[in-house]
Structure 1
Amino acid sequence: MGSAGPDIADIDFDDLTSPKLTDVQRQVLEFTEANRVDLGIDAMLAEAIDQAGVGDDLNDTDGFGDRLTAHVAAIESDEGLRELTRSTLRQRIVRLLRNRLSLTELIKRYPEIESIPIEKPFIVVGMPRSGTTHLVNLIAADPRRRALPYWESQDPMPARGQGPDSFGVDPRYARAKAEHEGLMASAPLIAAMHDRFPEAIEEEVELLDLDLASYVLEWHARVPVWRDYYLGLDQRRHYAYLKKVLQALTFLRGPRTWILKSPQHCEQLGPLMATFPDATVAFTHRDPVAVIQSAITMMAYSDRLRRTSIDPAWLLDYWSDRVHRLLGACVRDRDLVPAERSIDISFHHLNGNEMPLLDELYQRGGVELMPKVRRCFQHYLDDNPRGKHGRIRYDLQRHFGISADELRGRFGFYFDRFDVSPE
């Protein structure tokens, strides 16, 4: 099946590496490729200051300006980006700067924010496509727990003078909804892979990137230079900044007991536990082949609009190495998380077995799982069966020139450490 429209039951990319663009996709590219996008830092900062309606204090006490320069330089180093992607990344930088400015101003006005406790969070740690999204959305159904919806992750701090409209709709939510509708029009199969609709629970690394200190840029562009830069940062400082953002969000809209999740935490367990020492952690585990094939298929599909060409060999090499690094760090550091406050969840045991796993997680977190919360969980499960948006038919050999067994052979260390079943 090509790009014209998804078959909800079974999605097969017959044009993954040689895309046949729809009329809508061609029109989008013709419009956006007409002009070169300027990533000048001074202009982006001026735009952010104007949007924030506050001063120009970026709170640059620990080299934020250097990270901003490195971030932009990494984007400029990727010569295969279309102007559509450069525009998206420029808007993202402006948005991050605007939110950082607004956060600095908010804390100046309400310094008590930094005294708000982030109490006993649940944190889901695992690779993309290993059940983390399912699990975090499920736990977020507990009304006692604060979560991070996608719309808020993209614009966590309200800009001065930009409150809800006459219907009570936050303009940040309205923007996220409009962007999601545009994505569904231009790349509809994204929903079957990772549907980031406005209410979906998102990763807090988006908040960490207000400090320009996460791995997120790697998902947007081919930036090994940024990977190396990010891996060299002292993440204890940046995770402390993440906590400050969570404190501000708690101040703006409670409660103060969070559910968090990100694959990045796999290689940052030391900083994670130093920042949230009373956290209870749920590790999800899945065959790395399933993780990698899902990730690189999603990237290749997105690249039909993001890049001037698709390079399946690069995607395979980079992301198999990246997953290897993440899982290697997880195996190395797993014992930094106390056994009495953590559980390991195998993907093949997750679907259909959620309630017993939640019982164990809540017990280890010292939190009562009341009947009304159980009903909330069951309602979520009933409304969100696996494959709700269709199932992808993956074909590593056809699209990426490697067999599942050959790829799986690189991860023996992970199968030795955790209960993981080949798929």
Structure 2
Amino acid sequence: MLKPLMHKMHGSPLLALTNTRLSSAELLANAQAKTGLHDFGSEPFEDALNELLWALHEEADLSLFGRVSTHWDNLRLLTNLLVLRDHELADPAILQRPVSQPIFVLGMPRSGSSFLHSLLAEDDASFTPRCWQAIYPYPDHPASGRRAGPRKVQRQINFFHRLAPDLHNVHPFDALSPQECTEFTAHVFRSLRFETIYNVPSYKRWLQQAGHVQGYRTHRRFLQHLQGPRTPRWVLKSPDHVFAMDALREVYPDARLIFTHRDPVKVLPSVASLTEVLRRPFSRRTDKDAIGLQVSSDWANGAQQMIAGAARGDWADSRVFHVHYKALTAAPLETIRRIYDHFGLEITAGFQKRLQDQISRKPTGGYGKNVYRLAEFGLRPDELRERYRDYMTYFDIDEEVVV
């Protein structure tokens, strides 16, 4: 996704420069030819890949950069599958590694979840996947390419920031930043990250019907590789987990969940802005009103799912903690203490010192001071207030001033 336009594509060096659609079988063959590996494992993904490829070709209105980078991204994901399987064939015990009581941060987007994730990542007793690890889980494997690893990923991120200069203020990250889980589920092409980066409504509908269990099985498999022989306390994050809570519960029945909450009317223009910034380099045009409608509808659904899950008692109270944005940003250290007390975890002196240092360096997580306007994305505050009233009431969320 973050390669220069002239990057040579293995197996089809010029194809990505045209508007020709590849089938999943052709992409698989390209990945096999590139790596010299042939076994993708038993997890089904070709149907998902075909759905995505059709939507990218027919709906996403990709720019030249979008076609080239998407082709590279799909090949990278397939290459990683081959590399994971190659390691599993050499060491079958990888798939028996336990992933015990992982902590998931999820909830309303732009509600401090990235800030909270970065703070939790300061604990040496926890293990948080980094951006570069999701791109190259085995950087030393010959199939990963030359000099794979954090420096290479940072160069790719720097290049993308030149294409999307607004991204740093909207969503600051680098190669060493904690990575969101949507990158792991993307490896079997069952990830909501695709609908954020591209306008692919048919793929979105297909994924809603197909479900997320297979994506979360791959998510667990990815963690088994990254953790090695250790059994760490995983700390994971993505707001989008709220759309797949049944799958999360099936694959991780002992998970512990931290829900972050904030006034949706305040966050939705920020979510829409981030979506527009991410799509802009890949698409020939973006429709701000359509993006506003999409994110408003999506998160109204997400809010209702959070209410329904809490009302049903899908998780025991001892395994769920709720964090409000205002409380987190006003007293981040105290919020961490409350989380650790709730889950029966220890805050060591070293962890507390790193927390204090991190909060001093980035008191709001490194985000710039941005002003997002509802009208820019065709959103009306009165309509949103009514749409999200139940969510605000159920989780006792304070209204914020909006523009």
Residue in structure 2 matching 1:220, options 197, 200, 223: 197
Partner of 1:48: 31
| 1:120 CA drift (Å) | 2.1
Is 1:295 the counterpart of 2:278? The answer is no
Partner of 2:251: 275
What pairs with 1:18-417 in structure 2 (closer than 5 Å)? 35-40=17-22, 41-54=24-37, 56-61=38-43, 63-158=44-139, 160-161=141-142, 171-251=148-228, 254=230, 256-334=232-310, 335-386=313-364, 388-397=366-375, 399-417=376-394
| Contact kept in structure 1, 2:35 and 2:79, CA below 8 Å | yes
Separation in 2 of the partners of 1:204 and 1:302? 17
Separation in 2 of the partners of 1:294 and 1:278? 33
Separation in 2 of the partners of 1:185 and 1:43? 32
| 1:38 CA drift (Å) | 4.1
Opposite residue 408 of structure 1, the aligned amino acid is R
**199 and 276 in structure 1: CA distance in 2 versus 1, 3 angstrom threshold:** same
Separation in 1 of the partners of 2:351 and 2:60? 50
Query: Which region of structure 1 is more displaced relative to structure 2, 277-286 or 358-367?
Result: 358-367
Separation in 2 of the partners of 1:318 and 1:263? 16
| Contact kept in structure 1, 2:300 and 2:388, CA below 8 Å | yes
Query: Which region of structure 1 is more displaced relative to structure 2, 68-77 or 234-243?
Result: 234-243
**157 and 408 in structure 1: CA distance in 2 versus 1, 3 angstrom threshold:** farther
1:69-123: CA deviations, max 9, x gaps?
A: 1121121121522121122221111111011111112111111112211122221
Opposite residue 124 of structure 1, the aligned amino acid is V
| Contact kept in structure 1, 2:140 and 2:148, CA below 8 Å | no
Query: Which region of structure 1 is more displaced relative to structure 2, 316-325 or 292-301?
Result: 292-301
Separation in 1 of the partners of 2:279 and 2:197? 9
Q: TM-score, normalised by structure 2?
A: 0.88
**1:283 alignment partner, SS class:** strand
Separation in 2 of the partners of 1:402 and 1:346? 24
Q: TM-score, normalised by structure 1?
A: 0.84
Opposite residue 286 of structure 1, the aligned amino acid is R
Opposite residue 255 of structure 2, the aligned amino acid is A
**92 and 366 in structure 1: CA distance in 2 versus 1, 3 angstrom threshold:** same
**2:388 alignment partner, SS class:** helix
**2:105 alignment partner, SS class:** strand
**42 and 235 in structure 1: CA distance in 2 versus 1, 3 angstrom threshold:** closer
**388 and 271 in structure 1: CA distance in 2 versus 1, 3 angstrom threshold:** closer
| Contact kept in structure 1, 2:77 and 2:186, CA below 8 Å | yes
**1:114 alignment partner, SS class:** helix
Partner of 1:11: none
| Contact kept in structure 1, 2:292 and 2:378, CA below 8 Å | no
**1:217 alignment partner, SS class:** helix
Unmatched 5+ residue regions in structure 2? 7-13
1:289-323: CA deviations, max 9, x gaps?
A: 22210011122334443322231221111111111
Separation in 2 of the partners of 1:260 and 1:48? 29
Opposite residue 122 of structure 1, the aligned amino acid is I
| Contact kept in structure 2, 1:282 and 1:345, CA below 8 Å | yes
Partner of 1:18: none
Paired-residue identity, %: 24
1:232-254: CA deviations, max 9, x gaps?
A: 224334322211111111117x5
Partner of 1:17: none
Q: What is the CA RMSD across the aligned residues, in angstroms?
A: 2.5
**301 and 160 in structure 1: CA distance in 2 versus 1, 3 angstrom threshold:** closer
| Contact kept in structure 1, 2:126 and 2:234, CA below 8 Å | yes
Opposite residue 270 of structure 1, the aligned amino acid is D
Partner of 2:9: none
| 1:273 CA drift (Å) | 2.3
Separation in 1 of the partners of 2:107 and 2:198? 22
Partner of 1:8: none
| 1:403 CA drift (Å) | 3.1
Query: Which region of structure 1 is more displaced relative to structure 2, 78-87 or 42-51?
Result: 42-51
Unmatched 5+ residue regions in structure 1? 1-26
| 1:159 CA drift (Å) | 6.0
1:243-302: CA deviations, max 9, x gaps?
A: 1111111117x5622100111211222221232222221100011122210011122334
Query: Which region of structure 1 is more displaced relative to structure 2, 199-208 or 405-414?
Result: 405-414
**364 and 275 in structure 1: CA distance in 2 versus 1, 3 angstrom threshold:** farther
